[in-house]
Amino acid sequence: MAELLVVRPGPLTTVQDLGRRGVAHLGVPRAGALDEPALRAANRLLGNPPDAAALETTLGGVAVRASAPAVVAVTGAPAPVRLDGRPAAWGAAVRVPAGALLEVGPATAGVRSYLAVAGGIAVPPVLGSRSADLLSGLGPAPLAEGDRLPVGTAAAGPGADLVPLPGPPAELVLRLLPGPHDDWFARPPLGAGYRVAAASNRIALRTEGPPLPRTRGGELPSEGMPLGAVQVPPDGLPVVFLADHPTTGGYPVVGVVPRADLAAAAQARPGTPLRFVPARG
């Protein structure tokens, strides 16, 4: 079977597909690509199924060597792409000869790039997904130098020539559906004044800004948490749950960010201005 040899893993590179669906009742997080449209776009460029597994990098890129001829595509956060030291295309299918070194450099904007290969990354699935889950430890571990990643059989048909995607946000605007505990606070976290915190990760986007004053004390019993839930811990700073979030939590939830807005959250760098706005309809 064809393989990709990891030469440089980068600060944090994981295998991700579209995640584990229908297992939250077992206490298993969803996981999967944080920027789902970017993963889908990379797979579409190669003619892969939308849920084929790819590599998700974090800020610093990745370098791999192909054991056999391959076709790859890089999407998500813009980054320089090099093939044996020569510039190659970002956002397009690129043919990689056997033995060639493919390098995805540090992101020039945004946070997470996606390196897909025709046929997908064929690590063994766990509970129906090949995704790495950093909270529960399910799926493959983050990449390390010397890892060998099996590549599946490529589809016979061609991929798309172009898949447009929005750029990383200069200001992150997240719609907020209120509740179920919005009445625990003197005001909702609407408007400007927040920034993306450096402590953000695949579990949650954390914020810096004015703490939300509570009008009701006490604690909650642990209850189910959906993707995009905006939980408010004791420091009063909203936390937006992302793909590796826990399936339960005991802090009040002031609202929920629609799933469609979370791809932009995945690409917002620390310090990016953040504004919550009311969701319409």
The SS3 assignment for 60 reads: coil
| Interstrand relation of 81-83 and 191-196 (parallel, antiparallel or unpaired) | unpaired
CATH at 220:
2.40.100.10
- Asked if residue 155 belongs to a domain, the reply is no
Total structural domains within the chain? 2
CA dihedral for 42, 244, 138, 225, sign (positive or negative): negative
- Asked if residue 167 belongs to a domain, the reply is no
Distance, in Å, from the CA atom of 5 to the CA atom of 91, rounded to the nearest integer, reads 22
- Structure tokens given for 82: 């090099």
Based on the fold, state whether residues 98 and 235 are members of the same structural domain: no
Based on the fold, state whether residues 184 and 90 are members of the same structural domain: no
189: domain range? 172-278
Q: What is the pTM of this model?
A: 0.95
Q: Which amino acid is at 186?
A: A
Based on the fold, state whether residues 105 and 200 are members of the same structural domain: no
Mean pLDDT to the nearest integer, 176-184: 92
| Interstrand relation of 239-241 and 229-231 (parallel, antiparallel or unpaired) | antiparallel
Whether residue 55 has pLDDT greater than 90? yes
Mean pLDDT to the nearest integer, 173-190: 92
- Alpha carbons within 13 A on the beta-carbon side of 78: 8
Distance, in Å, from the CA atom of 157 to the CA atom of 153, rounded to the nearest integer, reads 12
- Asked if residue 158 belongs to a domain, the reply is no
Model pLDDT for residues 223-249, shown as the tens digit of each residue: 889 999 999 999 999 999 999 999 888
Based on the fold, state whether residues 133 and 193 are members of the same structural domain: no
Distance, in Å, from the CA atom of 90 to the CA atom of 101, rounded to the nearest integer, reads 15
Whether residue 137 has pLDDT greater than 80? yes
